[in-house]
Amino acid sequence: MNRPLRRVAIFCGILIMALLLRVNWVQFVQGENLAQHKDNRRVKIAQFAQARGDIIVGGRPVTGSKQVPGQDFKYKRTFTDGPMYAPVTGYASQAMGMSLLEKTYDSVLSGQDDRFAFQRARDVLTGKPLRGGSVVTTIDPKAQKAAYKGLTGLGARGAVVALEPDTGKVLALASAPSYDPSVFAGMTFKEGDRFKALGAEKSKPLANRALRETYPPGSTFKILTAAAALEHGVVTDIDASSDAPSPYPLPLSTNRIGSEAGDGVCGNASLKTAMQYSCNNVFLDAASKLGPDKMRETAQKFGFNEDVYSEDFGDLLANKSLYPERLDKPGTALTGMGQGSLTSTPMQMAMVTAAIANGGKLMQPYIVEKLIGPDLSPIEKHEPKLKSQAISEETAGSVREMMEFTAREGSAKGALIDGITVGGKTGTAQRGVNVDDEVPYGWFVSYGKNADGASVAVAVFIDPTDMDISRDDISGGKLGSPIAKQVMQAVLTE
């Protein structure tokens, strides 16, 4: 062979070798990633090639599948009471993708999960269509309905979270305004336009306010400040005078902060009285004496400064609630009353309340009870898991005493239920530098326990921006306590 031909042959051999190496690299190294890539049309076709399994609430499916003729995507997702359950289920859209439980458990719901391999092979041999598994949630349908109807009845933007304190089960997870995932579940241009319109709405119906939005928690945070003060020995007697003047001089500032109950009631008030009337001065003083490190330490034991994530199932992810790392003296004092640069999700405040109701034990929240295979056999079950011992049982008992006193004799009376032990705390949170620029948020947290020992902890968040209401009528007690009461009744009395 002459030299030019030899060079051509060698060059062609190198090209063939490179091609073989590339094919093997794509097939064996990148194969899994490419197979699961969001833009791989075959993946989307497989997701909707058969009826998806169901997401189940209270023993009944809240999702379904509808056959769509003449398309690659043979089945379209349907939702029962879509707006009420959207913060739980998320959406499964042929055009827009998936979110929340629909996304997390897509392999189970679509029947692609490796744990179904034997059943898939058996179905192929017997000629049965591919079937999906189901996701059984912890949601209590009565509590969910009470939460959602309470929010929509007010015409408010807001959220409600209800937890079972001794297990961490999520009993209700509502956000308003909401959306119906069915209206953009398909592949048409009209459905795509509907999704874009929802995303453009000022009221943000696609936002999950219970998990993914953070706000200043206002006076509901005072239950954590009280716990920190007792846990670190800054307060040893909840009935003793605090020696905190009212109005309270903010450290390193000329500002003096008063309380709605008045200086006569709040001046030098005990921690118990301060909880009853939501006296700002006592909690500002407690946070100042504790300092930022001890306040932050206690907040972090309740779950602040980390994502809320169910490690076992990976089904619940809430944005991080923030107790800031760097605080000066006035900033630290303001966190004592739930203001300043402090932020929280409604889920986080429900966790704080649940831990106090559960003797200081914070359980990991979870929203999926178990996974079921196509043949209805259980394939995975969640077990309750202790997240942290946030505070001692003694401290938790003292905070409960104050919260129950506040429900009986103070600002949380709106949540009282006959025959149920109820503890509560109201909250009104200012936002912005100039508090007169925007209407405040309303908060309410509570727990209830019946004679049989069943319990529930609830956090209610209200953004009254869209409400026709005067500024004087915006408070957690007026707006949030009736919703919390209805949710607790749904769990404990019905």
Catalytic residue numbers read 219
Cβ contacts of 255-262, under 8 Å, gap ≥ 24: 255/330, 257/281, 257/284, 257/337
- CA–CA distance from 164 to each of 169, 367, 395 (Å)? 5, 11, 20
437 DSSP assignment: S
Within 10 angstroms of residue 256's Cβ, the number of other Cβ atoms is 12
Q: Supply 430's token pair.
A: 């200012």
- Cα(359)–Cα(343) distance, integer angstroms: 25
Q: How big is the CA angle at 457 (ends 452 and 460), to the nearest 5 degrees? A: 145
419 DSSP assignment: T
Nearest to residue 458, comparing CAs of 429, 428, 426? Answer: 426
Q: Look at residue 257 and give its three-state secondary structure.
A: strand
Q: Supply 54's token pair.
A: 């169901």
| Dihedral angle, C-alpha 381, 160, 87, 136, nearest 10 ° | 20
Q: Taking the mean position of all CA atoms in its chain, how far away is CA 154?
A: 21
Angle separating helix axes 222-231 and 393-409, nearest 10 degrees = 140
Q: Look at residue 250 and give its three-state secondary structure.
A: coil
Q: Looking at the DSSP assignment, which residues form a beta bridge with residue 344?
A: 215
Are 331 and 391 in contact, with CB atoms under 8 Å apart?
no
